[in-house]
Structure 1
């Protein structure tokens, strides 16, 4: 099934169903033993953690922290190969935007060295299998989440906190726009909100679909910005990967220009996405969800 909570079903059961499906997909992806499988598994873990944030209050602080922490740690076990691959993808996006600058033999050798780092990443098939086994155990534990509330009350606090955290992160970025880690923190909160919009799109599919698209655009801008930040740090820590000094300078200049473009684009979208105060957004979404449930009861929404 798709990544959504169906308005016509019991909410607590839907939460457990989605958690089980996401973790099952993560395990299935890891069993393929491929880089794409690792990438897909990490996405499924991020989706599951966003789902847990949606119900963090009814779960309770201790239980939420335990399960969220376990999923975070398992995702980190899969990070080395993916992080190396992200540098190649960031490089390729720079090339797409300025083929002339990156057409030289020296620049092509840089890409070859970045690609070699992916193949040298320490992750193994056995490591992926061990992570898959651990996820199977977590999946069994999350099969019946202890959730007592019903309807939108089950996740109202989670929606408000996730959205509010993103709004605070935006304000921090506005105060310190050159602070790369603050932009990265904002990106994480944006992705949490994006996943939750996807989960709750039954509330009003057309409106939530438009918001989902805007959040994906925002997350993509911030994700590319972070990859470029990491690439810039890699250049400083391992300059031999990037060739002669003049080649390094050209790369840093291209990174700076692109990061400036991405920041401007992110702020245009972000200020609109986070225009409402959290309590206003939560109350409006609660009304949408109530209507969606009524429509589902009348057979207008499955």
Structure 2
């Protein structure tokens, strides 16, 4: 489900509704999940928790630091209950994409040890997930949070109330880009990816208020986070191979897979850094001024619509 605010809603009402819908959706996803749908459900849950944390960052100053930290930690900890399972699935899917890409040039079984390792490790985690009734725990926690959230009030009447939070997220992403460009280290690229995702989810929320006005930024950030995600997944496989967790019978196959991964990662990183510079080309103040202009345009449209309604009522 996309995050969508209705055109007739003010920002505060819309944001509270979106939070309610996302928590409700996560809660309902955990109801009688068939084993075949388990990993797709886990993926959707983890994404929803990240989206909620991004929204809370957007209204951070309105919430207050104590309330923000409480919600951020709550959904962070829920995400950690399923993060390892999701990581193995993501790494497996990325490795399978790599295998398909190189099918014609190499043996189709070249990547089999890496994929098999993900499946075996994921199964161990999945067994614990079921045996410890993690779905039941998550559903209970979300049910309580849903009731708690419905008593909340948020009052965002001016752009200045969300501007500092949005600027912080943009500025930190821009800083992380510079660090990643300088070092190209795996940990720095991963840190940048997290910042990109927060901004992406915040822009996604805002773009649902003003369809079309945000331009292609949300799509650009989506593509950027995917590039960085693929690179991170391959870095995990690379480390697993180097640490001999993934075992190859033929040393030549091992060297070949590492070479392919290193080549593919260099391409992903090059594209990500180019796209990143396009997404973060503005100074933070200029970026906020641009988003403020969208906000003002929306408010004017809402005001004009109200005037039209009043005029129509006269006749």
Larger radius of gyration: 2
Could you tell me which residue of structure 2 aligns to residue 163 of structure 1? 170
Q: For 1:153 and 1:252, locate their aligned partners in 2 and report how far apart those are by CA, in whole Å.
A: 49
Q: Could you tell me whether the CA contact under 8 Å between 1:102 and 1:108 is conserved in 2?
A: no
Q: For 2:113 and 2:223, locate their aligned partners in 1 and report how far apart those are by CA, in whole Å.
A: 31
Deviation at 1:101, TM superposition (A): 5.0
Q: Could you tell me whether the CA contact under 8 Å between 2:221 and 2:279 is conserved in 1?
A: yes
2:93 to 89, 106, 118: 89
Deviation at 1:100, TM superposition (A): 3.7
Q: Where does 1:138-149 land on structure 2 (aligned, <5 Å)?
A: 138-149=145-156
Q: For 1:84 and 1:226, locate their aligned partners in 2 and report how far apart those are by CA, in whole Å.
A: 12
Could you tell me which residue of structure 2 aligns to residue 208 of structure 1? 214
Cα RMSD, aligned residues only: 2.1
Query: Structure 1 regions of 5+ residues with no counterpart?
Result: none
When the two structures are superposed, what TM-score results if normalisation uses the length of structure 1?
A: 0.91
The answer to whether structure 1 residue 64 and structure 2 residue 87 are counterparts is: no
Could you tell me which residue of structure 1 aligns to residue 20 of structure 2? 20
The answer to whether structure 1 residue 183 and structure 2 residue 215 are counterparts is: no
The answer to whether structure 1 residue 78 and structure 2 residue 82 are counterparts is: yes
1:36 to 40, 58, 63: 40
When the two structures are superposed, what TM-score results if normalisation uses the length of structure 2?
A: 0.88
Q: Could you tell me whether the CA contact under 8 Å between 1:78 and 1:128 is conserved in 2?
A: no
Q: Secondary structure at the match of 2:49?
A: helix
Q: For 1:6 and 1:288, locate their aligned partners in 2 and report how far apart those are by CA, in whole Å.
A: 16
Q: For 2:26 and 2:106, locate their aligned partners in 1 and report how far apart those are by CA, in whole Å.
A: 36
Q: For 1:101 and 1:239, locate their aligned partners in 2 and report how far apart those are by CA, in whole Å.
A: 26
Could you tell me which residue of structure 2 aligns to residue 235 of structure 1? 241
1:116 to 95, 98, 120: 120
Query: Structure 2 regions of 5+ residues with no counterpart?
Result: 307-315
- Aligned pair count reads 299
The answer to whether structure 1 residue 53 and structure 2 residue 57 are counterparts is: yes
Structure with more relative contact order (C-alpha pairs < 8 Å, separation 6 or more): 1
Deviation at 1:157, TM superposition (A): 1.5
CA distances 1:164-195 after superposition (whole Å, capped 9, x unpaired): 11111111112211x11110011011111111
Higher mean C-alpha displacement, 76-85 vs 121-130: 121-130
The runs of 4+ residues in structure 1 deviating greater than 6 Å are none
In structure 2, do the counterparts of structure 1 residues 102 and 31 end up closer, same or farther at CA, with 3 Å as the change threshold?
A: farther
1:278 to 280, 284, 287: 284
In structure 2, do the counterparts of structure 1 residues 91 and 202 end up closer, same or farther at CA, with 3 Å as the change threshold?
A: closer
